[in-house]
Structures are given as structure tokens and as C-alpha cells.
Amino acid sequence: MNDKQPRGIALLPILVFLVIYLGSGIYYEYISPPEGGMGFYIMSVVVAFMIALVVAFIQNPALSFDEKIHACAKGIGDDNITIMLFIFLMAGAFSGIASEAGGATSTANMLLNVIPHGFEIPGLFIIACLISMAMGTSCGTITVLAPIALAVANSAHLNLPMCIAAIVGGSMFGDNLSFISDTTIAATKTQGCDMKDKFKANLWIALPAAIATLIILIIVCMKGQSVGLEHYDFNLPQAIPYFAVLIAAICGINVFIVLGSGTILFLIVGLLTKSLTFDTAFSSMGNGVSGMFETMIVTILVASIGSLMKEYGGFEWILQKVRNRAKGKKGAKLGIGLLGSLMDIATANNTVAIVMAGPIAKDIAEEYDISPKETASLLDIFCCVWQGIIPYGAQLLIAAGIAKITSISIIPFLFYPFLLLVAVLIAIAIKKK
């Protein structure tokens, strides 16, 4: 049997993954970029993890093949992993039908019509915050709002990178807090805490950063000049389900009930407003679920790799390093944040980063008596920070592609992610327990 002594070599599968995924991304993004493609998405994250899983199986000769299969099955069959997979399915169906029903566009346009003259950029930030909390996806929010931000910038003669940055920042705020976000699901389920508890822990850090961002944007707008916006058409009934889901989630209603009710609401509203038929409704739900398949496969692969690395002593090695360097609970919290940050910078996917870092973070938290809700919050926040900044992440690449600007040009105006990093570091420094 495996004695589970600390072994750094047990982390080789992750190193192999990073070399393959990050290496190919850098090559195709900066050395030999494909025409019309995003370099960091040439290499499938699933394929990279499959290769890493093969490496994990080859390691640890003390375990037989059947014992390794059993270890993987235990990791995949964990209650939190199973719940996570089911929630991903329901979140996919919800996002699919919501998009097809016109809910996101109507909600965004309705909010745009109430933006006071001269405060277009702060208004875009607030709208992105609300839409992302309701949709549970930063990429989806950016896809919906970036064309609107482009139109706003052109019609009101505003700084385009700043408008796009406001959308990106707001989308990361909502994605970090939303009850139906895959990052929230991953963070809470890997740590075994309730979503409402993680939401409260997150809010005390994210809200001050959002308020500070809003103040900066307002000051910038007051110094500039703009012309009035045009009127945007919207359908109020199509926006109602989003607000209903948002309110229900904040009230702490079970996420399965929230997602199921939201899906039914959009079906009813879509049929009544004729934005949906039964055919398009069910096909859109299917497309939404299909869009979650990669995330689900990655979750299964990471759970398997994590189980094998743990059996070989990889997690114990990381814990040993944290014990040697962390000076108490604050040092352990910084260690958790650094772990999530490095995973996200390497993978350019905050959900994948959280799933990878989650089991190790949980062990660190138990060692230093850090609550599950705080651990989940720290993981989600640090991953959110870097996902909103790295120029090769999906968020900035999508935003830059729609706006026809470079992702690098957006970074100087990303006030929210940088302020969120400051806020979380201050929170760690000043919290006594």
C-alpha cells in the first residue's frame, strides 16, 4: 500500500499539463498565431488533461492498475463532484433557454435606457455586474454586452477600451458572486460549504472593490464629455425571469430550485412573447447543456488526477511546503490565494483552476482551521482577479475580438480586478481570526 509520504514528483501530471497547455498556447498565440483563431484555445484543455491523466497512471508503482482505477472512482464519486456535475447540467439548460428567449439582451437594453446622461461608462459597469450575477457567466455577459458597449462608445464618443474594460470588470464581479456561476459551484462544492455563506464572505471583499471602481469611473466621466445615448428596445417580460432568479438566489433558495424555476419561467415568457417555440426552447436547452460538457469532462479528469496525486503523496508535499513557509493562518490564506492564482495564470480558465486547486486548498484550510466558506471565497476571488487581467484569457480575447481592439489595450482600464486584488489582500491582513 502507498505510505503517502510527501513526494514532489507526484505533481508531475500537473507539470505535464502546464507544459503542454501553456506551452502550446504561447506558441500559437505569440509565435505562430493561426488566422482568425485564439492561440490559447488551439490545444484542447481536455486533451491536455487526458495526457496528464496517463502520466498519473504511470506513476506510483506501489498501486496496481485496479487500485488506481478505484482511486479515480472515489474521486469522481465524491458527493461534491456529483452535485457539481448536476448543477452544471441545469445551469447549461438555464443559460441556453435564457439566451434564446432574449432575456439577456432585453435586460441589458432596459437598464441602458435608465443610464443618466454623462454616466454611460459607470452605467455599463453596473449593468455588467447585474447581468453577470443573473446569467452566472462572465463570457456570456461579455458576449451580450460588448457589442452594446461598442455602440455606446461610438455614439457617445467615449474611450472604447475603457467601455470594454467596464464590461469585463462588471462581468467578473457578477461571475464571482453569482449563485449559478460555474466558479461559485466549483469553489463551494470542493470546499463543502453553502453558496449563501460563500456569497456573504465574498461580498465583503468584492463590494468595496466594485464601489471603488464605480467612483473612479464616475470621476473619469465627470472630467470628460459625451453626447446622449440612443433609445434601446427591450421587452420587459423577457427581463423578469433574470431578476426573479437573482432575487431567489440571494435569498438562499436551493440552487436546483432556482435553476429549475428560472428555466420554466423563461420557457413560459418565451412562448408568451413568441421569442420561443417548443422546438427552439428544447434545442436551446440542449445546446446550453452541450456547452457544459467540456467543463464536466474537465471536472471528471481533474478529480481523477487529483486522487492519484493524493495517493502518491503530492498533496502532502504541498502541505509540507505551506507548513514550512506559512506563518500562521494569514500565511496559509496567502498560500491558498497563490495556489489558485498560479493555476489560473497557467490554465487561463478560472473554473478549471478552482477544480484543480480545490482539494489541496481544502487540506490547507483544515490544517490551519480556515472555514470552508472563507477558503471557497479566497479561491474564487484570486482566480477571478487573474482571469479578468490575463490578456490570453477567454474574457479579454472575446471582448477584444468584438471591439476590434487588442486585449492588451484593455488592461490599463481594468480597475475592478486590480482593486479586487488589493481588497482581498487587505482583508487577509486585517482579519484577526
CB 431 within 8 A of CB 201: no
**DSSP labels, 42-107:** TS-HHHHHHHHHHHHHHS-TTS-HHHHHHHHHHHHT-HHHHHHHHHHHHHHHHHHHHHHTTHHHHH
User: How many domains, the chain?
Assistant: 1
Q: Residue 58: what pLDDT?
A: 93
- Number of C-beta neighbours around residue 23 at 10 A: 12
- pLDDT < 50 regions, the chain: 1-2
In a domain, 196, yes or no: yes
CB 172 within 8 A of CB 417: yes
What percent of the residues of the chain are helix, what percent strand, and what percent coil, each to the nearest 5?
80, 0, 20
Q: How far, in Å, CA of 3 to CA of 155, rounded?
A: 66
Q: Residue 173: what pLDDT?
A: 92
Give the list of residues 6+ apart from residue 422 with CB closer than 8 angstroms, or none.
Answer: 209
In a domain, 300, yes or no: yes
| Cα 362-323-310 angle, rounded to 5 deg | 45
For 101-159, where are the alpha helices, taking DSSP H only? Answer: 103-112, 120-135, 138-155
In a domain, 2, yes or no: no
Q: Residue 216: what pLDDT?
A: 93
Residue type, 331: G
State the DSSP code for 413: G
CB 191 within 8 A of CB 162: no
Q: Residue 414 belongs to what domain range? A: 8-430
Q: How far, in Å, CA of 172 to CA of 357, rounded?
A: 19
What is the biggest distance separating any 2 CA atoms in the chain, rounded to whole angstroms?
Answer: 72
Q: Residue 252: what pLDDT?
A: 61
Q: Residue 130: what pLDDT?
A: 83
What confidence tens digit (pLDDT) does each residue in 98-137 have?
888 887 677 767 766 777 777 888 988 988 888 888 777 7
Q: How far, in Å, CA of 188 to CA of 21, rounded?
A: 26
In a domain, 1, yes or no: no
Q: How far, in Å, CA of 368 to CA of 370, rounded?
A: 6
Q: Residue 224: what pLDDT?
A: 62
pTM, two decimals, is: 0.71
Q: Residue 241: what pLDDT?
A: 84
**Exposure of 155 by Cβ count < 10 A (0-12 exposed, 13-18 middle, 19+ buried)?**
middle
In a domain, 248, yes or no: yes
In a domain, 315, yes or no: yes
